[in-house]
Structure 1
Amino acid sequence: MKSCLSVRELRLSRTKNDSSFTLYVPELDLYPGKTLAVVGQSGCGKSTLTDILALVLKPDSAERFVMYRGQKEINLFSASRREQADIRGSDIGYVLQSGGLFPFLSVRENIMLPGKLAGMDGRTVRNRAIELARAMGIADQLNKKPQYLSGGQRQRVAIARALIHKPGLVLADEPTAAVDSVSAEDICRLLKNTVAENEASLLIVSHDRSLMHKYADYEVTFRIEKTNGIKSTLIPNS
């Protein structure tokens, strides 16, 4: 199966207050219609990895860091800032741990925003927003501001927003951290089903191994080494 995104020998090092942290990714592949879970303890680099894949952080080096758009191979490591911005806007959907909703926009406006930025037709983006809101069970919340929603409802809005422009890669950083177990199950099910239907690739960052065992097609974790600083290596989860 051809991957949606392929990474080989990627590294990012950071130093803060005389302590160093290095994230090392020997190998990582994301596949269309499949869900990858990234699990691990706090501080192991889960969110750092997600920010790299979302093109928010740039790695120090990478032998291979490419995304496929149809038959076209895009080198993400060498892409310019403008090219990366275009890729983020058209090919990547990012569900932040905090939700990241704009408080001054309604639910409808929050969901529609990435579609508008991606240049989608006005009627198309409105209809797509309603379709996603129905699928997420928040169609009756479209005219409300985020402050009037529950934590689970806000996460559903964030997911709908990430999917509005039908990205090929969806990244979700701890999307169930602030909700109860029932909502967590619903959120994982909705994410997995919606992404599978669109033949997109889904990466979920989570500390909840039992939940990920139920919904992920495959998993990766981290091996932590403490020598001169901390080195976190991404490995397949046994």
Structure 2
Amino acid sequence: MSALDPKTLTVVVTGATSGIGAATVRRFASAGSKVVAMGRREDRLQALAQEFPNLVLPVVLDVRDYAATEAAFAALPDAFKGYNVLCANAGLALGLEPAQEAKIEDWQTMIDTNITGLAYTVRAGLPGMVARKEGHVVFTGSVAGDYPYPGGNVYGGTKAFVKQFALNVWADVVGTGVRVTNIEPGLTETEFSVVRFRGDEAKADKVYEGTAPMTGEDIAEQVFFAATLPRHVVVLRIQAMANQQSFSPFSIKR
């Protein structure tokens, strides 16, 4: 069977205002898919909608609010209500301090967004696809869910949750017509590190210095690939790294 026609897809993307989310919106919309772009920054959502008239619907939403998330899905207009791809992408990293020095408010924000907000998104968006017997949940995980690194502590823990949650959702929906994929990027240059270092662009640039990192567009291409495969094919995990990245070496203190 051939790949799915992207013009038959209606895609919901959370965290759509920057990085992987914005690139995913553009990748699908440029192929003719209808896209619901969800995020907190209205100006950026409106810019995406103007870039793709009639294809991108901007929805201002903080996924950490379940009532608002549920209401946003319920209020989708008819042209977008039959979404068949849900990209649960909203997430962030804050700080790189060791666990004993990390700010508890940073930990709480990561847990609230990367775990709670993601769970809210899936719980609000999944039932409609199951009822329609057609859909695909695409999670944005991270190689940090498998490979620990100093300062990754709670961020890595949240991405380990994403990995296992995705697999468990697949165990629940198998046979319903809904597919599940966890996209697990490695070194990717977006606003990710700028956010992690609270707007310190010089510090963020140091993360990628001397490397050729992946881009948001590289990851969006992986999302697009998984979502347009024939419906009898499920890619459960895509783990990709920049070509200059590998696993952490053992740390031995003497």
Please, what TM-score do these two structures have when normalized by structure 2? 0.28
The structure whose residues are more often strand, as a share, is 1
Which one has more relative contact order, counting CA pairs under 8 Å at least 6 apart?
1
Normalised by the size of structure 1, how large is the TM-score? 0.30
